[in-house]
Amino acid sequence: MKKLLLFTLMITLLTPFALLANGEGETTQSVNLTYANWEEGVAWTHFIAAVLEDEYGYEVNLTAADVAPGISAVANGDQDFFMEGWLPTLHGVYVDGTDIVKIKKIYDNGITGLIIPKYMADDGVTKLSDLAKPDVAKKLDYKITGIDAGAGMMIQTEEQLIPAYGLDDAGIRLLASSGPAMMAALDGAIENEEYIVGMGWQPHSMFGLYDLVILEQDGKEIFAPNDIYILGRNGVEEDLPEVTEFMKNVYWTNETIGPLMVHLQESNLDTLEAARQWKDENTEIWSDWVN
């Protein structure tokens, strides 16, 4: 009986080590990425998720969120990374005063502004102040088509741009929607050559899909170029050193992110699998990012 008990105890103690030696029982480390539902961020977030899963073996959890709660979740430590922080102005209000870490600048000089189809510019609408003209405001149905309510562009437009150019006095209001909903509205208006004002930013495929003009700011400079960062929670560099080291190598240009966005639009696969397919077919873009 004593020999049997001793044998059982030895098996109990040794089994976990045997499983680990055979690669069984190992716990896959997870990474939590949150992103805004904007075309460029959707594209590079799913691409990065595919790299982390395929090349490093991580389990990646993806969460779409509006900007404010997304960045807040990282600041509170509930998410590891927010994948598209526009700084210093657009998202500074959410980052300032927190211990969020700027992991890496992944895109230089992101451009933002209010956009119109070129046929409106051909009609003489070229400046933000032109929107307050009675005939223009009427053709716009007194509205600016926006994106998600918490976006920095929405806040700047509502609080600064509209009063600065007298658009409130002209009866123009800002309507919140989402990036995809705004694109759908833009598509429908352009098809019928109707007047529309939307939110524009680059990187985005909208400038390749349509002939668009960014309205001039008349020297007020409410919208200024911002760099785009991956933001991390406090302590993430220590907890996920391999992941953060990889992310510090990531960098996008219009020439690299553009084809990925187009591929995701045209693919019949779900977003992650489409990003994985593009990753496998374009290793020259990212192979140097992997340590």
Q: What is the pLDDT of residues 177-231, one digit of tens each?
A: 998 999 999 999 999 999 999 999 989 989 888 999 999 998 888 999 999 999 9
CATH superfamily placement of domain 29-110+226-289: Periplasmic binding protein-like II (3.40.190.10)
- Write the DSSP symbol of residue 129: G
Where exactly are the structural domains of the chain? 29-110+226-289, 111-214
Residue 21: count other Cβ atoms within 10 Å of its Cβ. 9
- Tell me the CA end-to-end span of the chain in Å, nearest whole number: 54
Show the DSSP H helices in 129-178 as ranges. 134-139, 152-156, 162-164
pTM: 0.82
Residue 40: count other Cβ atoms within 10 Å of its Cβ. 26
CATH number for the segment(s) 111-214: 3.40.190.100
Rounded to whole angstroms, the Cα distance separating 278 from 276 reads: 5
Query: Of 9-18, 96-105, 207-216, 250-259, which gets the smallest average pLDDT?
Result: 9-18
* 29-110+226-289 and 111-214 in the same fold: yes
Q: Going by DSSP bridges, is the β-strand pair 143-145/173-175 parallel, antiparallel, or unpaired?
A: parallel
Mean pLDDT of 11-31: 56
Question: DSSP states of 243-291 as a string?
Answer: HHHHHTT----HHHHHHHHHHHHH-SS-HHHHHHHHHHH-HHHHGGG--
Write down the pLDDT at residue 209. 86
Q: Do 144 and 263 touch, CB atoms closer than 8 A?
A: no
